[in-house]
Amino acid sequence: MAVIQRTPYQEFAEFVTSSPTLEQIAAFRLSNESDARISYLLQANRDGVLSPEEEAELADYTRLEHLMRIVKIRAYEKLGRS
């Protein structure tokens, strides 16, 4: 049976729909697999060897990272942390 890898968007969607606490939101991180994929794409971008599909994937991850930062900042604010 093949293992289906979740995309970072799927990971984040699954996490936020699991009713996490503010502490869990502040501590959320993508899986090691997603981190590795993003690192690969960033390096390929620096090397100038991204395919058009990979460029689109990297742009999606950039948007997701921005959203995750906003959510984490709001969680920290509600927890009374700066």
Instruction: Give the per-residue pLDDT at 82.
Output: 56
Instruction: Give the per-residue pLDDT at 4.
Output: 60
Sorted by where each begins, the domain ranges of the chain are 23-78
How far is the C-alpha of 57 from the C-alpha of 80, rounded, in Å?
Answer: 35
| Cα 20 from chain centroid (whole Å) | 16
Identify the sign of the CA torsion 55, 61, 67, 69: negative
How far is the C-alpha of 52 from the C-alpha of 60, rounded, in Å?
Answer: 12
- For the chain, 82 residues long, the average pLDDT of each consecutive 10-residue run is 72 95 96 94 97 95 95 94 64
Instruction: Give the per-residue pLDDT at 81.
Output: 72
